Amino acid sequence: MIKKVKYRQLPDYIKSDVSESDFLTAYTYEKVDSNIIIRIANRNLNRPIEIEYDGRSKKLMTTEQRKQKAPLPTTTLIEDLNAELIKTYVFEPETNILREVYEVVDLSLMRSAGKDSEAYYSAFKRQSTDIIKSIWKEYQFPTIYAQWTHIHKVNYWTERLYRMRRQAGESGAHEDSAFDKTLAQQMKSIDANIETILPDCIMKLSQLEQVDHAALLAAFRARTGLLT
């Protein structure tokens, strides 16, 4: 079982390498001579990076050594969905954070239903069943969406854009930063004809936020490349 470790609980040989000011979090297993995995601040990347110490040799491990001891991929049949879960383990580029990747494959069509991932070393990991349900729900959404009325679709995208802009603003960014090329790709993956309903969405969004419609539309066009 993975457990969290506080800085004061780290062995002295690690404290001599990792300062408390750089320390973010650490994990180990509940057994003797377990490896210790540490996330530290990297000010060049402005992101945390992950390092690992061998519990027996007490030495910092190389990325190649970590890859050799990483869990092996697994495949599990999900009978009620006629699907297959493939779990793989990858080290995130630059940060070396080990991630557990979930891919659900639709066996009836022999195609990927989608992927999700999370950091492998974590004190609070989601249940596999919850991740599978989330992937499958998103996979089926375009089929459900296609059956909606025009008004239902407009309301869906308006509410989604409104939430995204609120989240951007609350994080300290400009609300318009919610509009980007990734959003455009997501929209088109769900609705190939999304541009036919977007004018109504942007109009309704401007009314909801009580902002200038022309300015909102211009920002959306410039940042997403849609409606141009």
- Domain locations along the chain: 2-69, 74-140, 150-224
**What per-residue confidence (pLDDT) applies to 37?**
97
Q: Determine the Cα–Cα distance for residues 63 and 89; give it in Å rounded to an integer.
A: 13
Cβ-contact 136, 83 below 8 angstroms? yes
Compute CA 148 distance to the chain's CA centroid, rounded to the nearest angstrom.
Answer: 28
Alpha-carbon gap, residue 170 to 209, rounded angstroms: 15
Q: What is the pLDDT of residue 133?
A: 96
CB atoms within 10 A of CB 31: 8
**What's the average pLDDT block by block, 10 residues per block, for the chain (228 residues)?**
93 96 94 92 91 96 96 96 97 95 97 96 90 96 96 98 94 92 95 97 97 97 95
Per-residue model confidence (pLDDT) at position 33? 86
pLDDT given for residue 30 in this prediction: 82
Angstrom CA distances, 64 to 13, 38, 69, 85, 155, stand at 22, 17, 9, 26, 50
* pLDDT reported for residue 101: 98
Residues 6+ apart with CB under 8 A from 192: none
